[in-house]
Amino acid sequence: MDNILIIEDEEKVSEILKAYLEKEGYCVYCTTKGLDGIKLFDTIKFSLVILDLMLPDISGEEVCNVLRKISEVHIFMLTAKSTLEDRIEGLNLGADEYLVKPFSPRELTARVNALFRRININKSETKVYNNGDLEINYDKRTVKMRGVEIYLTPNEFDLVQILSASKGKVFTREQLIERIMGIDFQGFDRTIDVHIKNIRKKIEEDSRNPKYIITVTRIGYKFGGE
The CATH code of the domain that includes 100 is 3.40.50.2300
List of the chain residues with pLDDT < 70: 1, 82, 120-126, 182-189, 225-226
Single out the residue in 73, 99, 121 at which a domain terminates: 121
Q: Are residues 11 and 117 in the same domain?
A: yes
Q: Are residues 184 and 142 in the same domain?
A: yes
Give the global pTM.
0.60
The 10 Å Cβ neighbour count of residue 124 is 7
Single out the residue in 87, 121, 155 at which a domain terminates: 121
Note down the domain range covering 215.
126-223
So what's the pLDDT on residue 34? 94
Summarised one tens digit per residue, pLDDT across range 97-125 is 888 888 889 889 988 988 887 776 555 55
Which residues share a beta bridge with 111? none
So what's the pLDDT on residue 129? 86
The CATH code of the domain that includes 140 is 1.10.10.10
Give the start-end residues of each E strand in 91-178: 97-100, 128-130, 134-137, 142-145, 148-150, 171-172
Q: Are residues 114 and 10 in the same domain?
A: yes
CB 21 within 8 A of CB 46: no
Q: Are residues 164 and 91 in the same domain?
A: no
Single out the residue in 82, 100, 121 at which a domain terminates: 121
Mean pLDDT of the chain: 86
The 10 Å Cβ neighbour count of residue 122 is 16
Strands 97-100 and 74-79: parallel
So what's the pLDDT on residue 201? 94
So what's the pLDDT on residue 187? 54
Cα-based distances in Å from 53 to 60, 79, 179: 4, 6, 27
Q: Are residues 111 and 143 in the same domain?
A: no
So what's the pLDDT on residue 135? 93
So what's the pLDDT on residue 37? 95
Q: Are residues 59 and 20 in the same domain?
A: yes
Q: Are residues 149 and 98 in the same domain?
A: no
Share of the chain above pLDDT 90, in %: 44
Q: How many domains does the chain have?
A: 2
Quick one: how far is CA 100 from the chain centroid?
16
| Cα 109 from Cα 32, distance rounded (Å) | 20
Q: Which of 158, 161, 151, 130 is nearest to 225 (CA)?
A: 130
So what's the pLDDT on residue 87? 74
Q: Are residues 92 and 10 in the same domain?
A: yes
Q: Are residues 15 and 117 in the same domain?
A: yes
Q: Are residues 160 and 179 in the same domain?
A: yes
Summarised one tens digit per residue, pLDDT across range 60-100 is 989 999 998 888 899 999 887 767 777 777 778 788 888 88
Helix/strand/coil for 214: strand
Q: Are residues 111 and 136 in the same domain?
A: no
Q: Are residues 174 and 69 in the same domain?
A: no
| Cα 214 from Cα 223, distance rounded (Å) | 6
| Cα 200 from Cα 160, distance rounded (Å) | 10
